[in-house]
Structures are given as C-alpha cells and as structure tokens.
C-alpha cells in the first residue's frame, strides 16, 4: 500500500526517483535544505518497500507529532548528548537484520560551516555501507547514488562524497552546506 501511495504522490508532484532503494546501510540525506526533505526521502524509500530509521531532534517528538514521527521510523536524538541513541543504533546495525539509517549530514536545514560526521563514523564503526542519497530541486530528481565503505582516510572518503554531491542543490539551493567535515578542517584537508 505504501509503495503504491508513494509512486502516485511522486508522479503527481512531478518528481522523479532514481536508483535502487538499499536494504542495509547508513544513508546520507543531502542536501538538507527543507522540511520537505524528510517527506521526500520517506516517499522514495516507501516506493522501494523500505521503512528506514531516521534521527530527528528530540524537540519535535512532543505531542501528536511525536507519535507520527515514531511510526514513520523517527528516533529522537538529544543533540547535546547523542551517545545513548548512537550506541543503541550500533547494536541494531550489528544484529545481522536489514538496517537502514538516514542521517541528514548537515544536521540542520540552515546553511552551515560543515557536515556532521555521524554518517561516516557510524558506517565505519558498524562496517555498514554508506549510501549517498540526494534531493535536487532544480531537476526535481531525488534518489540514490553510489555506495561506499568508510576507510581510515576521512579526507579521501569525503573527496568521493564531494564529487557526487557537486551538482546536487536541494530544494532551497541557497541553504546548501558544502560537504566538508570538521575532522577535515582540523586535519588540514578538504577541497
């Protein structure tokens, strides 16, 4: 049912979904420039018959919205203390069951200085593939690009990520944050 609904909504809204929906991995959702990004990624995942886990700031889980977000795969995160939810996710990821976690690399819909490194750290620690997913408003296209395994070289890994996201703009291109991790800044790397 969800799959048919998702296909219908995407078709009626004029968006094109590309790529195969993965079953396991850490999915980088970028550029994250709008509240609609969450809805778009859910539709694309449902189109492929998958309900992912999504980290969302805990403040949004108040009242009836909390119930809805939980039903849609949302996991509340205390951004000041994310350790406990990350540990639980690592246990889930290592269970051997299909596991797909969506993370907004920017961590916010506003333009920032750098991406959050959680997707890279979780992918590397759990030995899960990192799936590059995107939303590109100007072309009205969203979906999945390449999959990669994190290595010990964050700068080299992020060079691959930057190349993929080079032409992806998001729904509000002016809010797009360039794919650069704080770790790269301190290591002297980046483009």
* Rounded CA separation 76/57 (Å): 6
Compute the average pLDDT of residues 101-116. Answer: 68
3-state class percentages of the chain: helix first, strand second, coil last, to nearest 5: 40, 20, 40
| Interval 45-83: pLDDT, tens | 888 888 788 878 889 899 888 988 888 888 888 877 767
What value does the mean pLDDT of the chain take? 82
Give 16's pLDDT tier (boundaries 50, 70, 90).
very high
* Rounded CA separation 191/189 (Å): 7
What does the pLDDT read at residue 148?
Answer: 95
What does the pLDDT read at residue 152?
Answer: 92
Q: Domain of 130?
A: 1-188
Helical (H) or strand (E) element with 120:
helix 118-126
More confident residue, 42 or 187: 42
Distances (CA, A) of 87 to 13, 23, 82: 38, 21, 9
Q: Does 20 have pLDDT greater than 80?
A: yes
| Interval 151-182: pLDDT, tens | 999 889 988 988 898 888 878 777 776 666 66
Q: For the chain, how far is it from start to end, CA to CA, in angstroms? A: 44
Compute the average pLDDT of residues 104-126. Answer: 73
Q: Does 141 have pLDDT greater than 50?
A: yes
What does the pLDDT read at residue 151?
Answer: 94
Structure tokens at 54: 């999504």
**Three-state SS at 34:** coil
Domain count, the chain: 1
The answer to which of 16-25, 108-117, 128-137 has the lowest mean pLDDT is: 108-117
What does the pLDDT read at residue 35?
Answer: 76
Calculate what percentage of the chain has a pLDDT beyond 70.
87
């Amino acid at each position: 049912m969800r799959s048919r609904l998702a296909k219908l909504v995407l078709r009626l809204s004029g968006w094109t979904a590309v790529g195969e929906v993965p079953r396991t991995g850490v999915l980088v959702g970028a550029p994250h420039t709008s509240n609609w990004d969450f809805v778009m990624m859910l539709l694309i995942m449902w189109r492929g018959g998958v309900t992912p886990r999504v980290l969302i700031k805990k403040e949004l889980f108040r009242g009836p919205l909390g119930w809805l977000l939980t039903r849609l795969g949302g996991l509340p995160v205390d951004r000041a203390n994310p350790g406990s939810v990350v540990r639980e996710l690592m246990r889930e990821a290592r269970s051997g069951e299909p596991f797909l976690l969506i993370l907004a690399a920017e961590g916010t819909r506003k333009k920032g200085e750098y991406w959050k490194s959680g997707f890279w750290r979780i992918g590397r620690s759990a030995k899960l593939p990192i799936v590059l997913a995107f939303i590109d408003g100007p072309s009205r296209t969203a979906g999945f690009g390449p999959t990669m395994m994190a290595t010990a070289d964050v700068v080299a890994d992020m060079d691959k990520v930057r190349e993929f996201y080079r032409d992806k703009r998001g729904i509000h291109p002016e809010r797009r944050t360039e794919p650069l991790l704080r770790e790269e800044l301190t290591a002297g790397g980046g483009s």
